[in-house]
Amino acid sequence: MSGYDAIQTATVIRYPYLWAREAGQGETEGRKDRPVAVGVRLSRPNGDLVVIFAITTKQPEKSRFTAEIPAIEKRRAGLDADLRLWIILDEFNTDVVGRSFYLEPEPPLGRLSKAFFLPLLREFIARRKSLTEVSRSK
Protein backbone atom coordinates (compact mmCIF):
# COMPACT_ATOMS: atom_id res chain seq x y z
CA MET A 1 0.00 0.00 0.00
CA SER A 2 1.29 3.41 -0.82
CA GLY A 3 0.13 6.97 -0.86
CA TYR A 4 -3.14 7.88 0.77
CA ASP A 5 -4.35 4.24 0.75
CA ALA A 6 -1.78 3.49 3.48
CA ILE A 7 -3.54 5.86 5.91
CA GLN A 8 -5.59 3.24 7.74
CA THR A 9 -6.74 2.38 11.26
CA ALA A 10 -3.77 1.75 13.60
CA THR A 11 -1.11 3.07 11.22
CA VAL A 12 1.39 5.52 12.65
CA ILE A 13 2.17 8.48 10.41
CA ARG A 14 3.80 11.90 10.78
CA TYR A 15 1.33 14.79 11.05
CA PRO A 16 1.34 18.40 12.37
CA TYR A 17 -1.13 17.64 15.18
CA LEU A 18 -3.00 20.66 16.55
CA TRP A 19 -3.57 20.34 20.30
CA ALA A 20 -6.98 21.42 21.59
CA ARG A 21 -5.36 23.98 23.92
CA GLU A 22 -3.54 25.55 20.93
CA ALA A 23 -6.73 25.61 18.84
CA GLY A 24 -8.51 27.20 21.82
CA GLN A 25 -5.93 30.00 21.74
CA GLY A 26 -6.69 30.64 18.07
CA GLU A 27 -3.78 28.71 16.56
CA THR A 28 -4.52 26.95 13.28
CA GLU A 29 -1.23 25.17 12.57
CA GLY A 30 0.34 22.30 14.49
CA ARG A 31 3.68 23.41 15.92
CA LYS A 32 5.62 20.37 14.70
CA ASP A 33 5.28 17.15 12.76
CA ARG A 34 4.92 14.33 15.24
CA PRO A 35 4.04 10.68 15.10
CA VAL A 36 0.29 10.14 15.36
CA ALA A 37 -1.95 7.09 15.35
CA VAL A 38 -4.76 6.93 12.81
CA GLY A 39 -7.81 5.99 14.85
CA VAL A 40 -10.33 5.38 12.16
CA ARG A 41 -10.85 6.10 8.47
CA LEU A 42 -14.47 6.64 7.51
CA SER A 43 -15.55 6.59 3.88
CA ARG A 44 -17.20 9.87 2.81
CA PRO A 45 -18.29 11.06 -0.66
CA ASN A 46 -16.05 14.17 -0.50
CA GLY A 47 -12.99 12.34 0.81
CA ASP A 48 -12.46 9.91 3.66
CA LEU A 49 -12.54 11.36 7.17
CA VAL A 50 -9.72 10.27 9.48
CA VAL A 51 -9.56 10.51 13.26
CA ILE A 52 -6.01 11.20 14.46
CA PHE A 53 -4.51 10.72 17.94
CA ALA A 54 -1.30 12.40 19.09
CA ILE A 55 1.63 10.37 20.36
CA THR A 56 3.74 12.21 22.93
CA THR A 57 6.81 11.78 25.13
CA LYS A 58 5.32 14.11 27.77
CA GLN A 59 3.73 12.09 30.56
CA PRO A 60 0.04 13.01 30.66
CA GLU A 61 -1.91 13.86 33.79
CA LYS A 62 -3.56 10.84 35.46
CA SER A 63 -7.02 12.27 34.81
CA ARG A 64 -6.60 12.11 31.03
CA PHE A 65 -7.70 9.25 28.75
CA THR A 66 -4.34 7.98 27.50
CA ALA A 67 -2.40 4.75 27.03
CA GLU A 68 1.32 4.18 27.39
CA ILE A 69 2.68 2.37 24.35
CA PRO A 70 4.49 -0.89 25.22
CA ALA A 71 7.99 -1.53 23.79
CA ILE A 72 6.84 -4.20 21.32
CA GLU A 73 4.17 -1.82 19.97
CA LYS A 74 6.70 1.02 19.65
CA ARG A 75 8.89 -1.25 17.49
CA ARG A 76 5.91 -2.32 15.32
CA ALA A 77 4.90 1.32 14.90
CA GLY A 78 8.38 2.49 13.87
CA LEU A 79 8.80 4.54 17.06
CA ASP A 80 11.80 4.90 19.36
CA ALA A 81 11.55 1.93 21.74
CA ASP A 82 13.85 3.70 24.26
CA LEU A 83 11.42 6.58 24.83
CA ARG A 84 8.33 6.44 27.04
CA LEU A 85 5.43 7.26 24.70
CA TRP A 86 1.71 7.76 25.20
CA ILE A 87 -1.27 7.91 22.85
CA ILE A 88 -3.60 10.74 23.87
CA LEU A 89 -7.19 9.63 23.35
CA ASP A 90 -9.29 12.32 25.06
CA GLU A 91 -8.71 14.79 22.24
CA PHE A 92 -8.24 14.19 18.55
CA ASN A 93 -7.86 15.86 15.17
CA THR A 94 -10.07 15.02 12.21
CA ASP A 95 -8.97 15.58 8.65
CA VAL A 96 -10.03 14.61 5.12
CA VAL A 97 -7.79 12.39 3.01
CA GLY A 98 -6.90 13.97 -0.33
CA ARG A 99 -8.29 17.39 0.65
CA SER A 100 -6.01 18.02 3.61
CA PHE A 101 -3.26 20.61 3.79
CA TYR A 102 -1.54 18.36 6.32
CA LEU A 103 -1.95 14.68 5.37
CA GLU A 104 0.82 13.53 3.05
CA PRO A 105 0.74 10.41 0.86
CA GLU A 106 3.91 9.09 2.52
CA PRO A 107 4.38 5.53 3.76
CA PRO A 108 3.44 5.04 7.43
CA LEU A 109 6.17 4.74 10.04
CA GLY A 110 4.54 1.48 11.10
CA ARG A 111 1.38 0.09 12.60
CA LEU A 112 0.04 -0.74 16.06
CA SER A 113 -1.33 -4.24 16.61
CA LYS A 114 -5.07 -4.83 16.71
CA ALA A 115 -4.70 -6.50 20.13
CA PHE A 116 -3.28 -3.27 21.57
CA PHE A 117 -5.20 -0.67 19.57
CA LEU A 118 -8.76 -1.98 19.13
CA PRO A 119 -9.65 -2.00 22.87
CA LEU A 120 -8.48 1.66 23.01
CA LEU A 121 -10.59 2.47 19.96
CA ARG A 122 -13.66 0.80 21.50
CA GLU A 123 -13.19 2.86 24.68
CA PHE A 124 -12.71 6.01 22.56
CA ILE A 125 -16.00 5.35 20.73
CA ALA A 126 -17.81 4.76 24.04
CA ARG A 127 -16.52 8.09 25.40
CA ARG A 128 -16.58 10.08 22.15
CA LYS A 129 -19.31 12.55 23.15
CA SER A 130 -17.22 13.83 26.08
CA LEU A 131 -13.96 14.17 24.11
CA THR A 132 -12.51 17.18 22.28
CA GLU A 133 -12.35 17.27 18.49
CA VAL A 134 -10.17 19.68 16.54
CA SER A 135 -11.27 19.65 12.89
CA ARG A 136 -8.41 20.34 10.48
CA SER A 137 -10.39 20.13 7.24
CA LYS A 138 -11.14 23.39 5.49
What are the domain boundaries of the chain? 3-135
Could you give the CA distance from residue 114 to residue 123 in angstroms, rounded to a whole number?
14
Give 39-76 pLDDT, tens digit per residue: 999 999 989 999 999 999 999 999 999 999 999 999 99
Q: Which of 57, 116, 53, 61 is nearest to 84 (CA)?
A: 57
pLDDT at 1: 57
The 8 Å CB, 24+ separation contacts for 124-128 are: 124/39, 124/65, 124/89, 124/92, 127/65, 127/90
Give 97-119 pLDDT, tens digit per residue: 989 999 988 999 999 999 999 99
Give 10-46 pLDDT, tens digit per residue: 999 999 999 999 999 999 999 999 999 999 999 999 8
What global pTM score does this model have? 0.95
